[in-house]
Structure formats: C-alpha cells, structure tokens
Amino acid sequence: MKSTRKGLRDGELVKDTYERLTCAECEKVLKKRDDPDEVFSLRICPECGREWKDLR
C-alpha cells in the first residue's frame, strides 16, 4: 500500500479543482476511513477498491 504522496507522484491519484483526491483510473473521489489506533488514515477508491495511506 502506497502513501497518497507517492500515488500523486506516480500518477495514480489526481487532485480536482476543489483539492479533493480522486483516483486517476476511475475518476471517483476517494473515501476516507479513519482508525483512531493508527497513525494514518486510509483513502479508498469506491469503484476499484485500491487503498492509499494518508499520514496525519
């Protein structure tokens, strides 16, 4: 699982006009799952199911 920064650099993620992260493949806005026990939150594409770590 990559971080969101690596996903942006590799072209897997893009930001839309409102600075929301979207999946470059599906063009869907990523959903966020926040686990209070972890240092990071997960960004998940609702269409293809790929995941990226989002460090806080």
| 1-56 residue pLDDT tens | 899 999 999 999 999 999 999 999 999 999 999 989 999 999 999 999 999 999 87
Q: Which two tokens stand for residue 5?
A: 């920064």
Which spans in the chain are helix H? 4-10
Between CA 12 and CA 4 the distance in angstroms is 9
pLDDT of residue 1: 86
Q: Is the sign of the CA dihedral 36, 39, 45, 51 positive or negative?
A: negative
Total structural domains in the chain?
A: 1
Domain assignment of residue 17, given as a range: 2-54
